[in-house]
Structures are given as C-alpha cells and as structure tokens.
Structure 1
C-alpha cells in the first residue's frame, strides 16, 4: 500500500469536537466545566464551539475526568469522502 500524503488542505478531512453535544446531554454549562477543570472559560468556550486549533492534552484529560468519558467520545475524525 502506498503511503498517503497531504496534497491540499481539504483532502485530508477534519477533526470535530463533540463537547457541546456531550455537555448538552449531561446539562453541564461552560461555566461549570471551566470551574470544575480549573480552566479559563475562554478555553472551554473554544472547545465547546469546536474552535480549537491545537489540542492541549492536559485539558483533554481534565475534561474527560470531569465528564467521565474517553477522548474518543469527544473527538471525531471526518474524512472528505
């Protein structure tokens, strides 16, 4: 099998964060999650709105701990096929 390479930005798909969906289901607010994870509201808001450009694994671990979930519950890969 030939190795894949990135030709254009749109060809390789994107990562979607499902934090909003999980928080809404559990009826957890961004303010609560920010306090519970000891993270700034602005950071949680970016995760909630799927606007994270670079993932901080420590924040991911805190969110998973508070929400009692796995990273795979929060992160979804969507290819462009």
Structure 2
C-alpha cells in the first residue's frame, strides 16, 4: 500500500517564501480623498503609526488598529489587506 501524502505544505526556509501581505491604506485614502492628518484625528492614532501602515512598513498587524481603520474608513478588512501568495510575489519583483 503506497504511503499517503501529507496534504499540508511544509514551511519555506525563510519567511520571504510565505508570500506577502499588502495593505491598501494609501489607495483607500486617495479614493476617499482623506489625508493622513484627517485619518489620524478620526482614528485617534499617531500619524507616524498610520504612515507605517500606509507605506507597508509594519511587521505585525494590530487587530484594534485594523478595526479602527475599517470603522473610520467604512471598509471591509478584505478591502484593507490582501494576501499575495509566494508565486505571485515572485512575479511582482
């Protein structure tokens, strides 16, 4: 009897192989014509922190921040963040 293959994927050697997370905050702000200063005021968050989200320069997502952004921007989480699989990440580079 042949050995059954494990349906779960093995992790790549480095985290670069997992794919990427893209935050679409810049696009949403532009679409809704909202400045970072206005968003900072409405979300009661620092501009520096929001700038890091806008520029995709964060390492860990904060659920509270994501909820605030979705609430203030009246968008869904799927509008705000996107997972890009490793195959697509490599073609984008």
SS across alignment from 1:60: helix
Large movers: runs of 4+ above 3 Å: none
What residue number does 1:37 align with? 43
TM-score normalised over the length of structure 2: 0.80
Distance 1:31 1:65 in 2: 17
* Structure number with larger C-alpha Rg: 2
Matches within 5 A, 1:1-81: 1-81=7-87
Q: Structure 2 regions of 5+ residues with no counterpart?
A: 1-6, 88-93
Q: How many Å separate the matches in 1 of 2:78 and 2:70?
A: 10
The number of aligned residues is: 81
List alignment gaps of at least 5 residues for structure 1: none
